[in-house]
Chains A and B, each alone.
Chain A
Amino acid sequence: MAADENIRQVLGKGIWQATTLVIIGIIFGLAVNALRLDGLPLFTRAGSSQTVIKPIEKISLPDVFQLYTRKKVVFVDTRDPYDFAQGHIPRALNIQPGTTGAMIDALRSSQGKPIITYCSGPDCPLAEKLAQELKTLGISDVKVMTEGWYAWQNSGYPVEGNP
């Protein structure tokens, strides 16, 4: 009987303590999310938050070049800074997945122009990963140029950098 009583007491105390931990955790989480640069939007419009699950749209090389000539696009090169320095699409930004924090304001201010991410080629997952990340951060107009940097370069399109 005493043991039963004791378990009930410990359980009661446990539930109370667990609730406290959950509340403190939620407060910390929301506060830190509000403060950090790459914080997630908590209340997204119905439908727009679906972008998390929707597959990322792909765009072909010729279509990308058309947008490039009209200067109505922001390119994001997801390769490492060394490869980027060797050569990239003119005016491209260099951002790797997981490092969007510092660049997010620049990307948000470019809204209105579609963002096109690319990596070295179709086998590199970084361009798609970054596009997913941007969508989660509330930037919806993002496409992936699957063919990647080598296809761009091999097509003889303009490049920038110091090979």
Chain B
Amino acid sequence: MSQMKAISLVARLLIGVTFLYAGIVHIADPSGFAQAIAAYRILPAWAINPLAVSMPWVEALTGLSLVGGRKTSGASLLASLMLTVFAAALTASLMRGLDISCGCFTTAPEAEKITWWYLLRDIALLTVSIAIFSLEAYLSSSPPESQDPATKLKP
């Protein structure tokens, strides 16, 4: 049980810090982030700026929740959803052969261009994020008294 909790903690910190960092980078440069989103050529122009100003805060809050262990099931669900969307955007861009930078952890357009490795990294994070949610479900399914059967005997 405590082993499960330790695994969950490590996983939460990994995804939490990643999202918090990405959120802060995007909050610092909304205009650069808007250009990064636009470069994917997936969203209509009117949707780019509203997404560029609000998504970084959702990322940062998700990261903060995971690091702090608050609203963990919601935050891990949201992280999984975002990572799935990023994976879809990356796949579409790679298949169309777009020569763009990821915009994931830097907003500089001259940053390294996307490759299939970026997709692999995203899928790895997605797996960990789904694991956090599953662990959350597992941990909450075990009643607290099962941790210490001796407590049952006490009056």
Contact = CB atoms under 8 A, between A and B. Distances in A.
B141 A20 contact: no
Interface stretch (A32-40, A58-66, A67-75, A86-94): A32-40
B54 interface: yes
Interface residues of A, number: 46
B49 A21 contact: no
Residue of B29, B77, B109 with most partner-chain A CB within 10 A: B77
Given A21-B65, A25-B57, A44 B49 contact: yes
Chain A interface, DSSP helix/strand/loop, else mixed: helix
Interface in B49-77: 49-50, 52-62, 65, 71, 73-77
A137 B52 CA distance: 12
A10 B136 contact: yes
Given A14-B77, A15-B74, A136-B35, A49 B49 contact: yes
Contacts of B34: 40, 52, 136
Contacts of A153: none
A28 to B, nearest CB: 4
A18 B74 contact: yes
B131 to A, nearest CB: 14
Interface residues of B, number: 41
Contacts of A40: 30-31, 34, 49, 52-53
Nearest to B37: A52
B85 interface: no
A6 B135 CA distance: 12
A43 B41 CA distance: 19
15 contacts: A13-B73, A14-B76, A14-B133, A18-B75, A18-B77, A20-B74, A21-B65, A26-B54, A32-B27, A39-B53, A40-B30, A41-B49, A46-B46, A53-B45, A97-B32
Interface of A: 2-3, 6-7, 9-11, 13-22, 24-26, 28-30, 32-33, 38-44, 46, 49-50, 52-53, 97-98, 100, 125, 129, 132-133, 136-137
